[in-house]
């Protein structure tokens, strides 16, 4: 093994179930990834990945952590059994030619950790759902649900967004509320302090924006039956609008400074400027430009 393992301090561990597609890392597999693979191959077949690996073409995890994706759950259990436990944290000692027995933190991540239903008797309403950005990757859905329920009440579901192929957490989540009061309280706060164990981070909360909603004003009558591109997150509105109805409603006194939200990639809502005298059109990827 090379010297690159010396800078590694954390590994997220995931299980890829046999029912999932057998997809590997983008080729060519880098030499540094192979070094990490060689260190953990004794536990079973696995692949090594880290955020934006393909785009950055980085040879080693730039932030010092990587994801190990095992094919079998038994491999994860073997890895956990080989770890040293210290203050509720798991560590495995990894060696290289330049360093011996370096403790590397292991954070197991089960696919079931991505979703948690707090109250199965309540239907999930996407219009009472918020997007939570910047969620720390170790945080599980059940922990996110409990934090938000303690702060605002009425939580019925929480989910952690995961990579569509490799299933590791992407650092964002969704929380559904059972009542409008809790939903409005959450989006009005705009930011929330996520505190759990050694996690203490301020994250942003926005309405979860859908891309298949009709205009709440005209029900598609003024936009040719097309889905509404804009959502107004101001608590006096909380509605979807087509371009025509947005201009009509938001030309009224007190509403001219409302800003529309549009849906971006990975379900991330984004605020865009809007001025009624301009003509706006939607480009691919929900990027709005004036013309």
Contacts with 244 (C-beta within 8 Å, 6 or more apart), sequence order:
218, 222, 223
Count the domains in the chain: 3
Per-residue pLDDT of 29-72, as tens digits, reads: 334 677 788 888 999 888 888 776 666 666 566 667 788 888 88
Q: What is the pLDDT of residues 223-261, one digit of tens each?
A: 999 999 999 999 999 999 999 999 999 999 999 899 998
At residue 95, does pLDDT exceed 90?
Answer: no
Say if residue 255 is in the same domain as residue 181: no
Instruction: Say if 196 falls within a structural domain.
Output: yes
Average pLDDT, integer, range 65-86: 86
CATH of the domain at 250: 4.10.640
User: Residue 268 pLDDT more than 70?
Assistant: no
Which pLDDT belongs to residue 160? Answer: 95
Residue 166 has a pLDDT of 75
Same domain, 7 and 94: yes
Q: How far apart are CA 66 and CA 242, in angstroms?
A: 43
Assigned token pair, 190: 């705009």
**In a shared domain, residues 99 and 135:** no
pLDDT score at 76? 86
Per-residue model confidence (pLDDT) at position 285: 31
Looking at residue 90, what is its pLDDT?
Answer: 86
% of the chain surpassing 90 pLDDT: 42
Q: What are the tens digits of pLDDT across the range 138-165?
A: 899 999 999 999 999 999 999 999 888 7
**Which among 75, 109, 143 is the end of a domain?**
109
pLDDT at position 2 over 80: no
Is residue 177's pLDDT more than 90? yes
CATH, residue 140: 3.30.70.330
Examine the domain organization and report whether 129 and 102 are in the same domain: no
Is 129 found in the same domain as 92? Answer: no
Q: Does 65 lie in the same domain as 29?
A: yes
Q: Is residue 222 part of a domain?
A: no
Is the pLDDT at 284 greater than 70, yes or no? no
Lowest mean pLDDT, pick from 27-31, 145-149, 201-205, 273-277? 27-31
Rounded CA Rg of the chain: 23
268 belongs to a structural domain: yes
Which position has the higher pLDDT, 194 or 54? 194
pLDDT number for residue 273: 47
Specify if 125 maps to a domain.
yes
Q: What integer pLDDT is reported at residue 18 of this predicted model?
A: 28
Same domain, 105 and 117: no
Q: Assess if residue 217 is contained within a domain.
A: no
Within-domain flag for 215: no
Same-domain pairing of 118 and 53:
no
Q: Which domain holds residue 201?
A: 112-207
Q: Is residue 225 one of the residues assigned to a domain?
A: no
Sequential DSSP letters for the chain: --GGGGG--EEEEEE--TTS----PPSSPPHHHHHHHHHHGGG--EEEE-TTHHHHT-SS-TTSEEEEEESSHHHHHHHHHTSEEETTEEEEEEEETTEEEEEEEEEEE-GGGGEEES-TTSPP-GGGEEEEES--TT--HHHHHHHHHHHH--EEEEEEEE-TTT--EEEEEEEEESSHHHHHHHHHH-EEEEEETTEEEEEEEEE---SS---TTTTTTTTTTPPP-EEE-STTT-EEE-HHHHHHHTTSTTTTT--EEEE-GGG-EEE----TTS-EEEETTTEEEE-
Closest by CA position to 129, among listed 166, 95, 175, 161: 175
Going by pLDDT thresholds of 50, 70 and 90, the confidence category of residue 283 is very low
Is 150 inside a domain boundary?
yes
Residues 64 and 102 in one domain: yes
Q: 190-200 as b/e, with b when 16 or more CB fall inside 10 Å? A: eebebeeeeee
């Amino acid at each position: 093994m090379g010297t690159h393992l010396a800078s590694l301090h954390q590994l997220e561990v995931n299980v890829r179930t046999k029912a999932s597609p057998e997809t590997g890392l983008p080729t060519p597999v880098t030499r540094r990834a192979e070094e990490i693979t060689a260190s953990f191959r004794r536990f079973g077949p696995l692949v090594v990945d880290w955020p934006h690996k393909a785009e950055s073409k980085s040879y080693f995890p730039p932030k010092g952590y990587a994801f190990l994706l095992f094919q079998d759950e038994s491999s994860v259990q073997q890895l956990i059994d080989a770890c040293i436990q210290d203050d509720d944290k798991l560590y495995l000692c990894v060696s290289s030619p330049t360093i011996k027995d370096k403790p590397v933190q292991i954070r197991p991540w089960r696919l079931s950790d991505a979703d948690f239903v707090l109250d199965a008797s309540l239907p999930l309403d996407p219009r009472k759902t918020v997007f939570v950005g910047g969620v720390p990757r170790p945080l599980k859905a059940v922990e996110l649900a409990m934090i938000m329920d303690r702060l605002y009440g009425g939580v019925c579901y929480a989910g952690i967004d995961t990579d569509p192929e490799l299933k590791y957490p992407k650092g964002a989540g969704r929380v559904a509320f059972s009542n409008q009061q809790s939903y409005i309280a959450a989006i009005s706060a705009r930011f929330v302090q996520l505190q759990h164990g050694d996690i203490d981070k301020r994250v942003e909360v926005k309405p979860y924006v859908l891309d298949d909603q009709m205009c709440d004003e005209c029900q598609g009558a003024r936009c040719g039956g097309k889905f509404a591109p804009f959502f107004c997150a101001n608590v006096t509105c909380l509605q979807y609008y087509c371009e025509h109805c947005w201009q009509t409603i938001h030309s009224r006194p007190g509403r001219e400074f409302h800003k529309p939200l549009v849906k971006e990639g990975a379900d991330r809502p984004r605020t865009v400027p809007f001025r009624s005298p301009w003509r706006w059109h939607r480009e691919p990827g929900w990027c709005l430009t004036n013309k």
